[in-house]
Chain A
Amino acid sequence: DGGITQSPKYLFRKEGQNVTLSCEQNLNHDAMYWYRQDPGQGLRLIYYSQIVNDFQKGDIAEGYSVSREKKESFPLTVTSAQKNPTAFYLCASRTAGDDGRQPQHFGDGTRLSIL
């Protein structure tokens, strides 16, 4: 089945530790996104990539890093510099249409907690 796979579903981070969240899609989508969701809040954009080997910061990029070495993969690293990493992390992707109206489709998320 085509879709977006995020792993792991649950992740725990120790103080001072970097952790990497995986996002893989087999939809042949060009653009990929990382969002963060806090309880009772909307989604906030962390990073996005519209093409392989290129990515841009979103609204809350501090303490995070990404890479886009392959079209189907967009891993997110939560570094020790991110002081409040406990959240629900969502990866999304979409086809880059001419008018940009193609919807984003989401994975099922990774819930990150601090030990």
Chain B
Amino acid sequence: DAKTTQPTSMDCAEGRAANLPCNHSTISGNEYVYWYRQIHSQGPQYIIHGLKNNETNEMASLIITEDRKSSTLILPHATLRDTAVYYCIVRVLGGSEKLVFGKGTKLTVNP
């Protein structure tokens, strides 16, 4: 029951920008978009989140379209350590505040 769709896999050359798309066409007006990544056998790592404005932190940038139906996570200079599964999540409001993880995008950064 994930509310997002992402490509199954993507490749990126080391040092180049990695742009990971996500569709969330049924997002509600007050629902945030979160991005996490998971390296094999580790817990998910929080990257960034946003509501409607573009956001940037030390790890990445998040670009959200004006209609909020899609977003793009940008890793500006990908390194080999960025190889991971990236999850785009629209957080369920109220109740448990649980995160619903879909299958994510497997990003492979190549030397």
Contact = CB atoms under 8 A, between A and B. Distances in A.
Contacts of B101: 42-43
Which range contains the number of A residues in contact with the other chain?
20 to 34
A107 interface: yes
Contacts of B98: 33, 45, 48, 58-59
Contacts of B51: 101
Contact of A101 (B2, B32, B46): B32
Contacts of B32: 101
B29 interface: no
Given A42-B2, A101-B49, A106 B97 contact: no
Contacts of B91: 100-101
Chain A contact surface mostly: strand
A66 interface: no
Contacts of A90: 43-44
Interface residues of B, number: 24
Q: Which of B42, B49, B91, B98 has the largest count of A CB atoms less than 10 A from its CB?
A: B98
Contacts of B102: 42
A41 B2 CA distance: 12
Interface string A99-115: 01101111111010000
B108 to A, nearest CB: 16
Interface in A57-115: 58-59, 88, 90, 92, 94, 100-101, 103-109, 111
19 contacts: A31-B97, A40-B103, A42-B100, A42-B102, A42-B104, A43-B44, A45-B96, A48-B97, A56-B96, A58-B96, A59-B98, A88-B41, A92-B99, A100-B91, A101-B32, A101-B49, A103-B34, A106-B46, A108-B42
